[in-house]
Amino acid sequence: MNFNLPRFCSLIYFVGLLSVILQLPVLAQTTADVTITIHLRGVYESKISLLGLSGRIFEKIAETQGIKDGETTEITVTRASLPGEFVLRFDYKENEASAPYPSEKYIFINNQDLELWVRPQYCNNADSTWFQTDETENSTFVKFSKENEKKREKLGLLQHFLMNYDDTKSKLFKEATKEYEQRRQMYNKWLKDQTKQDKLLFISTLYGFQYVPQIPFNSSETDRIYSLIRHYFDGIDFNDSLLIKTSEINKWMDGYVNLYGQLSTTTALRDSLFPLAGRTAIEKAKAGHPLVYGWMVDYFYVGYEANAIDAGMKILEPYLNDPNCLTLKRQEISRRLKGIKTLVSGSKAPNIILNDSLGKVFELEKYKPGGKYVLLFFWSADCSHCVETVNAIYPWLQQTENRLKVSVVAISLDETDAEIKKWEQEINKLVGWNHLRAEDGVRSKVANDYFILATPVMILLDSKTNEIVATPNTPDELKANVK
């Protein structure tokens, strides 16, 4: 699975990376571990888990079980994880016989020990769940959020009026535009003042995500979107390494990409605009903290991989050799880029030797179906996008003309017992396909040979030569290549 640089290049990179790390400002951390004391109320018992942010997802970092009603428990958060955004998850039983039911409370932890009185059923209700009276991070964020909501509501009403007003030359429109701009500037100044006021608190890092860019209301809708794109990052300090310690950055970046999505009226536009979105954002982050720079590269890698945007993947290549870019996805990106360059039309597909669903050995080089094509379909029965693809191509491939042209070799990358059980159920519905399963999933030899990092992946081969005809990203592209 790993793509290894030549040894000399690896050494150069390591030395460069080490020099960068030694010069980095230290990521803001507390000087001691933090303890969360939790008083459980109103349920029979509960398992309590603490989840910390890792990239785009929250992962469990601590857990305590069997806490009964009226009992108190403590969770220790090590200073290496702080400050940051966390999730307290309660899997509680209302009575001894009931099944566990989940509830979650998002919290911020910095350098203060926390004490929390909580009823899991109402863990986000201030009347039923609260912190100690001197708690700062979460109480300040609640106060900020309430005031922010009021201010944005007023600004939003005026914006809605201007976006939908049809006479852009009228006196009313001009006055409303002037009023909006004054209010927008006042709001952004308020954000800046609040950030300065709360600068010692972790939650002040989130305020910049609320920044409102200027909108040219008297221009076309397309021009408005381009203006929002140009000014989207105006309120963010990319030198703040704590940006990547909150889930808000994910939502904020999704909003940025969605602006490009509004302009992508065709697949061709999508494949040109989304790489542009990545290059623009990464170049902005490049001037900031290396951790934020690396996070931005990782963000777009995940998006390009999930949507099979090869043109986007290629724009990431120059950043891999930059020691200032502290990406966590360097090997995955390198491997994907190698796959893009290797698995091209006209190249011979690597051999596949796996047991099929009946336990018989299948070997691609010895497989000689009567039709013109072989479709290699890498998938997982537990992957919703895979299932959507199956539902789109299976009925089409069952049509007599297409069934005689295309033979399908479906390679499952399912690994867990639950996934395998689902795969065994699903293949009973997919009669006529050759069903194989790679036991080690994305870590298997076949996944490595074909540079598979995510599913689904389709590779269309010439059945006589096993040369690659196409690597369709969608069912429509597959149909277009079967002639």
Residues 417, 394 within the same domain: yes
Of the three residues 107, 131, 155, the one that is the final residue of a domain is 131
Q: Domain range holding 330?
A: 139-342
> Is 11 inside a domain boundary?
no
The answer to whether residues 343 and 310 touch, using CB atoms and an 8 Å cutoff, is no
Residues of the chain with pLDDT > 90, as a percent, come to 81
From the centroid of its chain, how far is CA 10? 28
What angle, rounded to 10 degrees, do the helices at 330-342 and 290-306 form? Answer: 40
Among 107-111, 381-385, 459-463, the minimum mean pLDDT is found in: 381-385
Residues 230, 369 within the same domain: no
Residues with Cβ within 8 Å of 46's Cβ and at least 6 positions away in sequence, in order, are: 40, 67, 90, 91, 92, 93, 100, 120
| Structure confidence at residue 240 as a pLDDT band (50, 70, 90) | very high
Runs of H (alpha helix) within 406-466? 417-426, 445-449
Query: What is the DSSP secondary structure assignment for residue 312, as one 8-state letter?
Result: H
What pLDDT score does 25 carry?
41
> Is 176 inside a domain boundary?
yes
> Is 52 inside a domain boundary?
yes
Closest to 229 measured CA to CA, from 210, 208, 255, 205:
255
> Is 211 inside a domain boundary?
yes
pLDDT at residue 254 above 70? yes
Beta pairing class for 114-118 and 34-40 = parallel
Give the count of domains, the chain. Answer: 3
What pLDDT score does 367 carry?
95
What pLDDT score does 117 carry?
97
Residues 321, 361 within the same domain: no
Residues 162, 266 within the same domain: yes
- By three-state DSSP, how is residue 1 classified? coil
**Per-residue DSSP letters for 7-27?**
HHHHHHHHHHHHHHHHHSPPP
Give me the CATH number covering residue 448: 3.40.30.10
The mean pLDDT of 55-77, rounded to a whole number, is 94
| Structure confidence at residue 27 as a pLDDT band (50, 70, 90) | very low
pLDDT at residue 20 above 70? no
Residues 390, 279 within the same domain: no
What pLDDT score does 12 carry?
32
Residues 221, 78 within the same domain: no
Residue 55 phi/psi, 5° resolution?
70, -115
The mean pLDDT of 265-276, rounded to a whole number, is 88
> Is 347 inside a domain boundary?
no
Tokens of 402: 């297409």
Of the three residues 312, 342, 372, the one that is the final residue of a domain is 342
> Is 18 inside a domain boundary?
no
What pLDDT score does 271 carry?
83
| Structure confidence at residue 365 as a pLDDT band (50, 70, 90) | very high
What pLDDT score does 13 carry?
37
Residues 239, 291 within the same domain: yes
| Structure confidence at residue 17 as a pLDDT band (50, 70, 90) | very low
Of the three residues 292, 322, 342, the one that is the final residue of a domain is 342
The answer to whether residues 93 and 100 touch, using CB atoms and an 8 Å cutoff, is yes
> Is 17 inside a domain boundary?
no
Q: According to the per-residue pLDDT averaged within each range, which of 101-110, 156-165, 265-274, 448-457 is highest?
A: 101-110
pLDDT at residue 48 above 50? yes
Count of Cβ atoms closer than 10 Å to residue 165 Cβ: 14
> Is 21 inside a domain boundary?
no
What pLDDT score does 15 carry?
35
Tokens of 167: 């006479």
Give me the CATH number covering residue 41: 2.60.40.1120
Residues 127, 144 within the same domain: no
From the centroid of its chain, how far is CA 350? 31
What pLDDT score does 31 carry?
60
Cα(430)–Cα(109) distance, rounded to whole angstroms? Answer: 50
Residues 338, 357 within the same domain: no
The mean pLDDT of 114-137, rounded to a whole number, is 96
| Structure confidence at residue 4 as a pLDDT band (50, 70, 90) | very low
What pLDDT score does 151 carry?
95
pLDDT, tens digit, 9 for 90 and up, residues 294-319: 999 999 999 998 888 889 999 999 99
Mean pLDDT, the chain, whole residue set: 90
Residues 144, 200 within the same domain: yes
The mean pLDDT of 160-167, rounded to a whole number, is 90
Residues 335, 192 within the same domain: yes
Residues 374, 441 within the same domain: yes
CA distances 199 to 101, 192, 287, 420, Å, are 38, 10, 22, 50
